[in-house]
Amino acid sequence: MLDLRILRDDPDLLRDNLAIRKIPVFDDLPVDAPDWAAKTVDRLRKLDEEYRRLLEEEERLRHEQKRIADEMKALGRLPRDEQAARRRPLVEEGRTLRERERLLADRVAEARAARDAAWSKVPNLTHPDAPRGDGDDAHRELRRVGTMRDFEAEGFAPKDHLTLAEGLGIVDFEAGAKVAGQKFYYLVEDGAMLDLALQMYALEVARRHGFRLHVTPDLARAEIVAGLGFQPRGPSTQIYSVEGTDLCLVGTAEITLGGMLADEILDAEDLPILLAGLSHCFRTEAGSAGQESKGLYRVHQFTKVELFAFTHGDVQVSDAMHRRFLDIEIEIFEGLGIPFRVLDMATGDLAAPAYRKYDLEAHLPGRGGWGEITSTSNCTDYQARRLKIRYRDPEAADRRRGRNRFVHMVNGTAVATSRAIVAILEHYQQADGSVVVPEVLRRWVGKDVLVPRA
RNA sequence: GGAGGAGUGGCCGAGCGGUCGAAGGCGGCGGACUUGAAAUCCGUUGAGCCCCCUUCGGGCUCCGUGGGUUCGAAUCCCACCUCCUCCGCCA
């Protein structure tokens, strides 16, 4: 959620930002409608003004009510016989005020809910250097790391990860489908060890960089999920809900790590707070039917080590942290020996909470292209505002704005094991279908090479 | 799952239906003392929102959350959440 002051003080900024983000706020104002951004801002302003108008009126009524109560209190000093007579009209007036105020309170709540529902869909502001545009070619490639395999020179055609995994006997999609449905799977034998090895590897790197390690809950309250900017409910949600409760299966430990400090006021000197979280991740993949329907690349459940930072509420600071996250992600996949490229994601492709996002895309010879393996986002104060995560800023002596400021929140993937396995299988495959285990994982996998079953 | 008890400001902890945004303490900040620091003393110190908007100023809300009773609720009633103790069950 953005600061409402932007709506009131700088509507043009908001309009321009909506235009480059291409995220709709009102259903009847889709991003291809004429002047949709300006019209969206107009409507937001009307909603806000309506709410404030009603609020003012309600506050006036409440003020009156308090006046009556105070007068009543003063009657206590009068002689007994006089009190009853003086009390009656006051009680009458107070009762009338109460009724009027209650009616109005409902309208205020409605107006506020309407404004907030719309406002919470407005995306975060955008880093000035993020490339504008949308679509795959709009992203800016920042660098390439590692060496791609030259299968032509090696004299064999690369297989895709699914073929390799089946040959090795390390995933069982059939059993997954039988027990839980399409896009669920079992990791078997070396597959299980590979998954755990990636987790251990990522946790070690995270810890070396000063992140405090957590195994997080895999479920979270819908309120927390929404606080992080995810849509917990609705037809297009990516999030599973547990029936009869207000719980959701988390799509990422970003939710559980970010929610940890909800409603807290931190000490400035405790920042930045660096957390790593290991969790299972569940995604409905609504709307992605048919896309990469086979294999481990897009699945309903996987395991991930997530990095998270709470920083001072200053873009300079969170920006620097964001770059640090990117460096750690690069270090992790460089350590695995996987060739990849780094993308500065285009404005039209950023999720609502992100101010800027970098993706790492591994080169996947099996599919002959690049595939996202990790990403990192600076969400500035967008999530913190709704989660009410603040810190006392001793510098900010300004009485008007208050001493407490919202933290900035940065998240990033250390390792999503399913996609890392895809990249490892495809990059490290050999002509006979065996797969070399990346050196850094061997101490946990216990093997140098995975060999196909006879 | 059953039976009790409790949730108050950054933290701890008082609180009779009106005099309570809330005693007291800790912590923080400012000052005095000191060469400096500690100790001591004095003062100060919650959050959010609305109007005004430069300040000054005015107003509303908030004592776990949401309802209710009342002219008036931190205080009474109901539901939910969380924590603690005991019993049961279990990895």
**CA–C1' distance A397–B36 (Å)?**
28
Work out how many domains chain A is built from and give that number.
Answer: 2
Per-position DSSP letters for A273-320, written without gaps between them: EEEEEEEEEE---TT-TTTT-SSSSS-SEEEEEEEEEEE-S-HHHHHH
Residues around strand B, C-beta < 7 Å: A 4, 8, 52, 55-56, 59-60, 62-63, 65-66, 68-69, 72-73, 76, 90-91, 94-95, 97-98, 102, 109, 265, 390, 392, 394, 399-400, 402-404
Burial class for A382, CB neighbours closer than 10 Å (0-12, 13-18, 19+): buried
Residues A421 and A339 in one domain: yes
Residues A243 and A96 in one domain: no
Find which nucleotide's C1' atom is closest to A72's CA: B71
**CA–C1' distance A394–B21 (Å)?**
23
Q: What is the pTM of this model?
A: 0.91
Closest CA to A204 of A276, A271, A252: A276
Residues of A classed as catalytic = 283, 298, 372, 375, 419
The token pair that represents A26 in the structure block: 């009102």
Q: Which of residues A93, A121, A149 is at a domain's end? A: A121
Interface predicted TM-score (ipTM): 0.84
**CA–C1' distance A261–B66 (Å)?**
23
Residues A404 and A264 in one domain: yes
Its domain, for residue A111, covers: 4-121
Residues A183 and A331 in one domain: yes
Closest CA to A217 of A256, A248, A258: A256
Residues A250 and A348 in one domain: yes
Residues A111 and A143 in one domain: no
A130 within domain boundaries: no
Residues A190 and A65 in one domain: no
- Protein-covered nucleotides of chain B (CB closer than 7 Å) are 10, 18-19, 28-29, 46-51, 53-56, 59-61, 67-68, 70-72
A126 within domain boundaries: no
Pair A330, A419: CB distance under 8 Å: no
A384 within domain boundaries: yes
Find which nucleotide's C1' atom is closest to A97's CA: B71
**CA–C1' distance A269–B34 (Å)?**
29
A115 within domain boundaries: yes
Q: What is the pLDDT along chain A (454 residues), one digit of tens a residue?
A: 899 989 999 999 999 999 999 999 999 999 999 999 999 999 999 999 999 999 999 988 988 888 888 888 777 666 666 777 777 888 888 888 888 888 888 888 889 989 998 998 999 999 999 999 988 889 999 999 999 999 999 999 999 999 999 999 999 999 999 999 889 999 999 999 999 999 999 999 999 999 999 999 999 888 888 888 888 877 778 889 888 778 889 999 999 998 888 888 888 888 899 999 999 999 988 777 666 667 899 999 999 999 999 998 889 999 999 999 999 999 999 999 999 999 999 999 999 999 999 999 999 999 889 999 999 999 999 999 888 888 877 665 444 455 688 899 999 999 999 999 999 999 999 999 999 999 999 999 999 999 998 7
The token pair that represents A326 in the structure block: 């990117």
Residues A167 and A94 in one domain: no
**CA–C1' distance A314–B34 (Å)?**
39
